[in-house]
Copies of this chain bind each other. A is one copy, B any other.
């Protein structure tokens, strides 16, 4: 037996296997996921495993390594989040998200830091040796909402899109603020005296860290898109580039002390559009599948490790400090959301309701990022107290808040996400309105969201697409692109469901049949290919809308009309209109 030789890969594989099996077990009983969030259960499994390891070895189980967390477990989750980020609601609410992420986080850091310092002055608690700087440092790591925890809980409760993007976007973008404040306070703790210069430098760093991350991410994203131009003959390694470039963007950003999370999100959002157009359909399925798989496993491992690391003798249980930490985290977040939303609502027509504000405040879950940061603290006397407080805050938010948020959403009747995808008609209207609003903004001289969006779209179709896309001939009309996308999606669904015949496809069959000879005549009279193409698109889409639209119809009962009837009707209509 030669265990040592294979130890490293063997143990990693076993951990991943455990995580995957835990996931299967969790989904095996349908009742469980509807009561307890997955994250709670995974932490619970981790706690049990930690207890077993502790009981057997009689020493603390190994703590989750911060390096492993930041270098290997976090990037897949953030990549997945960035790649599948719904870009429209994100950019529509970018101002509000940034306000919550930047101002809100700073508010929380200083609020929690100063009030905990006040608690430390109470003699009965015996905490006088914890300085203000240490309290602020602790505040900086405990204030940030965790994207992993937020994703895990919010994915299951299906609140409306805007609410979701507000909480989730905040949790992702506050990384830049957390990185800066944490490193700032850490270096302040080690400095003998602090000059006012240092504080100004710290403020300047916000912009460097955040915008630098965006720049690094976009650079790698564009390079990735450009690389996939040349993979036509070797489709099989296409998915690799998506992963390699986004990981490189994360690592490069971390290397220069920029925000890796911001970088990888910028990279993923930047490249998605072009990569999707360049790579084959199978490659894209692989990319999507593997991203989901990877992030899902990382997520599981993080929660299990969180549980395992909780057990042990790393904690100093000073209960007043710990309890006040939990209370201040809740209070300052609630206050922050209230105050910031007050200003946001004054500027916008589409306001954030009171219920939504409550869910935003209540959904401020803490997770593995705080946990890793607290272990990265330099050794000092009260480190164990901070570890204990962080652990309790995480467990409190994930267990108590995570488990009660779903009943609360039901109780308050918070607006839910619409289940059905938007119809083609709706999508066309949205696009039309975008153009209209861009025009209005242009005429009125107001450089708003739509104006910039239009300019960006122009820049994209004029320059970027020519460089980054392989099959770039002429800018196709966006309605054709949209149609192609829907068509492809539908084809895959059909293939999956196995409802596909070996026979010739629909149009060729129609052409060869006597009953629809009108179609043939039509084609003879209208030779230009483009027109035929558009007609085909419209004919099919109209039919599709009827099916996916509301079932109510003044003349027919739902399900009465046959699909063929639709097609015929469209043909007749088309014929008449000419």
List the interface of chain A (C-beta within 8 A of B). Answer: 1-3, 5-6, 8-10, 13-14, 16-17, 20-21, 23-24, 27-28, 30, 67, 71-72, 227, 230-231, 233-234, 236-237, 239-241, 244, 247-248, 251-252, 254-257, 280-283, 285-286, 289-290, 292-293, 296-297, 484, 487-488, 490-492, 494-496, 498-509, 512-515, 540-541, 543-544, 562-564, 567
| CB < 8 Å neighbour of A236 from B17, B237, B293, B562 | B293
Q: How far is the CB of A12 from chain B (nearest CB, A)?
A: 10
**Alpha-carbon distance between A515 and B510 when the two chains are bound, in angstroms:** 12
Contact A244 B285 (CB under 8 A): no
Residue on B nearest A25 in the bound complex, by CB: B230
Q: A231-B24, A239-B289, A564-B504 in contact; A247/B9 too (CB < 8 A)? A: yes
Contact A240 B16 (CB under 8 A): yes
Contact A503 B506 (CB under 8 A): yes
Contact B499 A488 (CB under 8 A): no
| CB < 8 Å neighbour of A494 from B257, B505, B508, B562 | B505
Q: How far is the CB of A432 from chain B (nearest CB, A)?
A: 22
**Alpha-carbon distance between A515 and B515 when the two chains are bound, in angstroms:** 9
Instruction: List, in ascending order, chain B residues with CB within 8 A of A503's CB.
Output: 506-507, 540, 543, 563, 567
**Alpha-carbon distance between A505 and B297 when the two chains are bound, in angstroms:** 38
Contact B13 A248 (CB under 8 A): yes
List 20 extra interface pairs beyond A2-B256, A3-B255, CB under 8 A: A2-B254, A5-B67, A5-B254, A9-B251, A10-B251, A13-B248, A13-B251, A17-B248, A24-B237, A239-B290, A285-B286, A494-B495, A501-B505, A501-B507, A502-B540, A503-B507, A504-B563, A506-B509, A509-B509, A509-B564
| CB < 8 Å neighbour of A16 from B8, B230, B244, B285 | B244
Residue on B nearest A230 in the bound complex, by CB: B24
Residue on B nearest A484 in the bound complex, by CB: B498
**Alpha-carbon distance between A290 and B390 when the two chains are bound, in angstroms:** 39
Q: How far is the CB of A518 from chain B (nearest CB, A)?
A: 15
Instruction: List, in ascending order, chain B residues with CB within 8 A of A283's CB.
Output: 289
**Alpha-carbon distance between A562 and B508 when the two chains are bound, in angstroms:** 10
Instruction: List, in ascending order, chain B residues with CB within 8 A of A72's CB.
Output: 9
* A-B residue pairs in contact (CB < 8 Å), sample of 10: A16-B244, A17-B248, A20-B240, A285-B289, A494-B495, A495-B495, A502-B543, A504-B506, A504-B563, A506-B509
**Alpha-carbon distance between A495 and B496 when the two chains are bound, in angstroms:** 10
| CB < 8 Å neighbour of A491 from B296, B498, B506, B514 | B498
Contact A244 B563 (CB under 8 A): no
Contact A1 B564 (CB under 8 A): no
Residue on B nearest A14 in the bound complex, by CB: B248
Q: How many monomers of this protein are in the complex?
A: 2
Instruction: List, in ascending order, chain B residues with CB within 8 A of A237's CB.
Output: 20, 23-24, 293, 296-297
Contact B488 A498 (CB under 8 A): yes
**Alpha-carbon distance between A499 and B494 when the two chains are bound, in angstroms:** 12
**Alpha-carbon distance between A226 and B505 when the two chains are bound, in angstroms:** 38
Residue on B nearest A486 in the bound complex, by CB: B502
Instruction: List, in ascending order, chain B residues with CB within 8 A of A490's CB.
Output: 500, 502
| CB < 8 Å neighbour of A28 from B230, B257, B567 | B230
**Alpha-carbon distance between A512 and B564 when the two chains are bound, in angstroms:** 7
Contact A500 B500 (CB under 8 A): yes
| CB < 8 Å neighbour of A296 from B236, B252, B292, B513 | B236
Instruction: List, in ascending order, chain B residues with CB within 8 A of A500's CB.
Output: 487, 490-491, 494, 500, 505
| CB < 8 Å neighbour of A255 from B5, B285, B297 | B5
**Alpha-carbon distance between A28 and B227 when the two chains are bound, in angstroms:** 12
Q: How far is the CB of A200 from chain B (nearest CB, A)?
A: 23
Instruction: List, in ascending order, chain B residues with CB within 8 A of A256's CB.
Output: 1-2
Q: How far is the CB of A194 from chain B (nearest CB, A)?
A: 23
Q: How far is the CB of A21 from chain B (nearest CB, A)?
A: 8
Instruction: List, in ascending order, chain B residues with CB within 8 A of A255's CB.
Output: 1-3, 5-6, 10
Pairs of residues from A and B, 8 with the lowest C-beta to C-beta distance, nearest first = A501-B506, A503-B506, A491-B495, A491-B500, A286-B289, A27-B233, A502-B540, A504-B563
**Alpha-carbon distance between A346 and B14 when the two chains are bound, in angstroms:** 49
Q: How far is the CB of A260 from chain B (nearest CB, A)?
A: 9
Instruction: List, in ascending order, chain B residues with CB within 8 A of A230's CB.
Output: 24, 28
Instruction: List, in ascending order, chain B residues with CB within 8 A of A544's CB.
Output: 502
Q: A6-B254, A289-B283 in contact; A513/B512 too (CB < 8 A)? A: no
| CB < 8 Å neighbour of A281 from B21, B227, B286, B496 | B496
Instruction: List, in ascending order, chain B residues with CB within 8 A of A5's CB.
Output: 67, 254-255
Q: A236-B289, A286-B286, A487-B498 in contact; A9/B71 too (CB < 8 A)? A: yes
**Alpha-carbon distance between A426 and B30 when the two chains are bound, in angstroms:** 46
Instruction: List, in ascending order, chain B residues with CB within 8 A of A297's CB.
Output: 237, 240
